[in-house]
Amino acid sequence: MNSTHGVLVPFELPDAEEVPRVLIDTLSTMEVVLLGHYQLPEQTPTSAGRDQFEDDAQAELEDIARRFEAAGVSTTTRLVFGKAREKSIDRVAIEEDCDVILTPGRADAITRVLVPLRGEANFDRILSFVGELLTATEASVTLFHADEESDRLPGEEILADATDRLVSAGIDPDRISRQSSTEDDVGRSIVDLGDTFDLLVLGETEPSLRDRIFGTRPAQVTADTDDPAFVVRNAEQS
């Protein structure tokens, strides 16, 4: 498994929402890129927006970086002015070689992590990141699988393989549990189950022109929950 992952943390400027300190602490071993995205009105040219807002936006982004660095997180910053937020996030993730994108949310503690898995799609990268995340925390993890017609392997086999990989990475088996579902609406199942967890780790799947960053299901889940979520990009489909 990879020892270090690159994590992109996007912020909407100005007046960006704060990331909870407990979530920042989970990033202490990772390479973090803080992206400040300044959404411009449709009629404002990018060059004009940059001339008008760059100094204030850069100062706010540097303040955010100082909060991360105070927690021992090494950061790089990027500032983008534009109108297409998702495309900007996707582009910067590729340029900065970030394989994970954080969708911040509410968190008072990180003790229970939910990891939905879909067959073999993006499997190695997801579990590599989960292994590093669990090494940086004392959280327990629940590996979740919902049976789907497209699965090439039985759900129990997928979950058993994932468990073995995490144990091989040094995670105590007592910190790992498994759960499966046969519900038709997998996205809704994940959202409902996620209400009892502090953090989600989702794999990017099936990117389309409409949903280039997260894929259909992760986009649905992150839109419907207040939980923070790490979305692990599928490099093969970038």
Determine how β-strand 112-116 pairs with β-strand 75-82.
unpaired
CA Rg, the chain, in Å?
A: 18
The confidence score (pLDDT) of residue 212 equals 40
If one compares 185 and 141, the residue with the highest pLDDT of the two is 141
**Mean pLDDT confidence for 40-53:** 91
pLDDT greater than 80 at residue 225: no
* 8 alpha carbon, distance to own chain's centre: 8
The confidence score (pLDDT) of residue 186 equals 58
Same fold, 6-102 and 112-237: yes
pLDDT greater than 50 at residue 213: no
If one compares 70 and 1, the residue with the highest pLDDT of the two is 70
Amino acid identity, position 40: L
pLDDT in tens, 50-64: 999 999 999 999 999
- Which helix or strand (DSSP H or E) is residue 230 part of? strand 229-232
Range name among 120-124, 173-177, 178-182, 202-206 with the lowest pLDDT average: 202-206
**Mean pLDDT confidence for 70-89:** 94
pLDDT bin (cut points 50, 70, 90) of residue 210 is very low
Does the domain at 6-102 match CATH 3.40.50.620? Answer given as yes
Selection from 37-46, 137-146, 169-178 with the highest mean pLDDT:
169-178
For every residue of 166-183, which 3-state class applies, written as one string? Answer: HHHCCCCHHHEEEEEECC
The confidence score (pLDDT) of residue 209 equals 32
Question: Distances in Å between the alpha carbon of 135 and those of 19, 29, 106, 172?
Answer: 21, 9, 22, 10
Does the domain at 112-237 match CATH 3.50.50.60? Answer given as no
Q: How is the chain split into domains, by residue range? A: 6-102, 112-237
DSSP codes, 4-57? --EEEEEEEESSPPPPPHHHHHTTTTSEEEEEEEEEPPTTS-HHHHHHHHHHHH
pTM, two decimals, is: 0.86
Cβ-based neighbours of 57, under 8 Å, separated by 6 or more:
13, 14, 36, 38, 79, 81
**Mean pLDDT confidence for 82-86:** 88
Phi then psi dihedrals of residue 122, to 5 deg: 60, 20
How many Cα atoms are found within 13 Å in the side-chain-facing hemisphere of 12? 9
Alpha-carbon gap, residue 65 to 70, rounded angstroms? 9
Is the CB of residue 114 less than 8 Å from the CB of residue 190? yes
pLDDT greater than 90 at residue 2: no
pLDDT in tens, 91-144: 999 999 999 999 888 889 999 999 998 766 688 999 999 999 999 999 999 999
